[in-house]
Chain A
Amino acid sequence: DVKVTQSSRYLVKRTGEKVFLECVQDMDHENMFWYRQDPGLGLRLIYFSYDVKMKEKGDIPEGYSVSREKKERFSLILESASTNQTSMYLCASSTIGTGNTEAFFGQGTRLTVV
């Protein structure tokens, strides 16, 4: 059974703090993704990675960075948290190729920046 685990379910941070969101998958998937989900805006891709140490910007990378030092782990970093980064953050992983390359999601991290 595929499992994607995010380090925290709920997180409260102060403005200006550096925030780390961790994600681990156990299916040896090549691709990993970070999304944020806001009411009325849907799931928006922040960054994704298709291999260790490789990363690509998604649609809204500003204010975020990522790290993938090991295949199973993909970290999202908020360099200096701001209130407009209050959101639900979802990590996902998928395999590559044709056919069913579905994204498997973690349980989500609800981040509040005060």
Chain B
Amino acid sequence: QKEVEQNSGPLSVPEGAIASLNCTYSDRGSQSFFWYRQYSGKSPELIMFIYSNGDKEDGRFTAQLNKASQYVSLLIRDSQPSDSATYLCAVNVDKIIFGKGTRLHILP
């Protein structure tokens, strides 16, 4: 069974610090990788996608992909209280599979 693994957290990070979220996946045929943010009671919304090895930056967010290690991460710089949410890692292997999510709590 194809799996996407994340630490469930909660991960507590002081405001202004860097939050680091990690994800591993089992299927080497995975093509695209996504990070979604989900606030309580809301649907997931896309933050970043990445499909090439290396780093991809968008504002305060950086996604990192290492296909050899089957590892994808999300860094959030200058963390804000509004970043407190559950972050879902997702992988496209002809269908989109989600991890269980990591709860992030930014401490004011």
Contacts and interface: CB of A to CB of B under 8 A. Distances in A.
A50 B49 CA distance: 21
B34 A102 contact: yes
B60 interface: no
B98 A43 contact: yes
The listed residue with most B CB atoms (<10 A of its CB), out of A31, A58, A100, is A100
Interface residues of A, number: 27
Contacts of B1: 59
B46 A102 contact: yes
B51 A58 contact: no
Contacts of B49: 99-102
15 contacts: A31-B96, A33-B95, A42-B88, A42-B98, A42-B101, A43-B100, A44-B98, A45-B98, A100-B49, A101-B31, A101-B49, A103-B46, A103-B96, A106-B43, A108-B43
Given A43-B101, A58-B95, 7 more contacts: A35-B98, A43-B98, A45-B96, A45-B97, A48-B95, A105-B45, A106-B43
